[in-house]
Amino acid sequence: MVHQLSRQEARRIAVRAQLLDAERPTDLLEVVRRLWVVQVDLTAAVAPSADLVLWSRLGRAYRPDDLDTVLADRDLVEYEGLLRAAEDMALFRADMRDWPGRPPLREWQEDTADWVEANSVCRDDILQQLRAEGPLPARELPDTCAVPWRSSGWNTGKNVLMLLNCMERRGEVAVSGREGRERLWDLAERVLPDDPAVPWQEAAAERDRRRLASLGIARGRATQTLGEPNDVADAGEPAVVEGVRGTWRVDPAQLGRPFRGRTALLSPLDRLVFDRKRMTDLFGFDYQLEMYKPAAARRWGYWAMPVLHGDRLVGKLDATADPEVGVLRVDALHEDEPLTASTRAAIGREIRSLAALLDLELERP
């Protein structure tokens, strides 16, 4: 059976699955489990993305110290730049064991494996120093690489960091914490739970299922991106969305449920909007993260936050946190559709809540 969905139904499924409907969750760990992943990005034009994602779900009950606590307790772990529930790492152990992948390997996978092998002495040196002194930042680990990392420029001279990234995917090292913006590395056995590996085919299917449960509706196949995929293979059930080409996969647990929306300010890296094609297909929302554009070329702002109201993305909030002065400055509210007085009031309440999260005074233009 192929489910027939209107765009509004599809949007409501997506919003509800992401815990952005009116019924707010109350438990931080449960939020991360249900979201499946929370991306780490320390850009602090407003606040680090993970804090924004968790605050937009939990509201005034959330404080950044809460996240620090669960990370210190190892209830959550950081893996490949994403926060995950520690128990979910069992779903990645088979991939760690089979790194760089299962045959047939792509050329880049073979090249990466050859590079790690050529630098086995440096790898051993890193493991030895972490065993004796860890956790440590990458800058305090020895660069004894015999073969430098080949880069087009972005990662030139970052041999140790690139090797650590490979060792993380091999299950040898893990991020133990952070010191400012720097990751602290340690032996994986000291950070990750030692749960037995789930067989890789079963693990891959479960990851797809969990991803779909967090998104509600997604493409079975999508363009590959770094980190967490946007597609879900054969998880869930097939669906078509009125006015949108192609077949989707929908989480059957989300079908037919009532919806009551609310207003939320979203991180630009929030999973509701992270897959920009899905965002456009379902929400018809015109948006890009403009932090990498020259200031004169920005339409909405350096870290403009998408504004959700009910099942619609209705605008972008351009705001800047200035802790030195002690203010959250609202530079602009860009409207994608005319906002009613009640919608503006709801957005205003969220802005005040955001200022309270950051312990800043609100400053308007």
Residue 301 tokens read as 């702002």
What's the number of domains the chain is made of? 2
341 and 227 belong to one structural domain? yes
301 and 208 belong to one structural domain? yes
154 and 221 belong to one structural domain? no
The domain spanning residue 186 has which CATH number? 1.10.10
153 and 285 belong to one structural domain? no
Beta strands across the sheet bearing 312-322 = 263-265, 305-309, 312-322, 327-335, 361-363
Q: Is residue 275 part of a domain?
A: yes
**What range does the domain containing 42 cover?**
3-71+201-363
Q: Is residue 96 part of a domain?
A: no
CB–CB of 267/305 below 8 Å? yes
164 and 214 belong to one structural domain? no
216 and 346 belong to one structural domain? yes
253 and 276 belong to one structural domain? yes
Pairing relationship of beta strands 182-187 and 361-363 according to DSSP bridges: unpaired
159 and 284 belong to one structural domain? no
CA dihedral 292, 293, 295, 299 (to 10 degrees): -120
Domain boundary among the residues 191, 225, 248 is at: 191
233 and 262 belong to one structural domain? yes
Q: Is residue 166 part of a domain?
A: yes
Q: Is residue 135 part of a domain?
A: yes
* Three-state secondary-structure class, residue 295: helix
Q: Is residue 196 part of a domain?
A: no
Q: Is residue 97 part of a domain?
A: no
pTM of the model: 0.95
118 and 247 belong to one structural domain? no
Q: Is residue 352 part of a domain?
A: yes
Predicted confidence pLDDT, tens digits, the chain (365 residues): 899 999 999 999 999 999 999 999 999 999 999 999 999 998 989 999 999 999 999 999 999 999 999 999 999 999 999 999 999 999 999 999 999 999 999 999 999 999 999 999 999 999 999 999 999 999 999 999 999 998 766 667 799 999 999 999 999 999 999 998 899 999 999 999 999 999 999 999 999 999 999 999 999 998 887 789 999 999 999 999 999 999 999 999 999 999 999 999 999 999 999 999 999 999 999 999 999 999 999 999 999 999 999 999 999 999 999 999 999 999 999 999 999 999 999 999 999 999 999 999 998 76
CB–CB of 6/299 below 8 Å? no
Query: What's the confidence (pLDDT) of residue 153?
Result: 64
165 and 208 belong to one structural domain? no
Domain boundary among the residues 191, 214, 234 is at: 191
167 and 235 belong to one structural domain? no
Q: Is residue 80 part of a domain?
A: no
Domain boundary among the residues 191, 217, 244 is at: 191
Express as a percent the part of the chain with pLDDT over 70.
99
Within the chain, residue ranges assigned H as helices are: 7-17, 28-35, 49-58, 64-72, 93-97, 107-118, 120-133, 159-169, 188-191, 200-215, 271-274, 276-283, 341-358
Q: By CB neighbour count within 10 A (0-12 exposed, 13-18 middle, 19+ buried), where does 8 fall?
A: middle
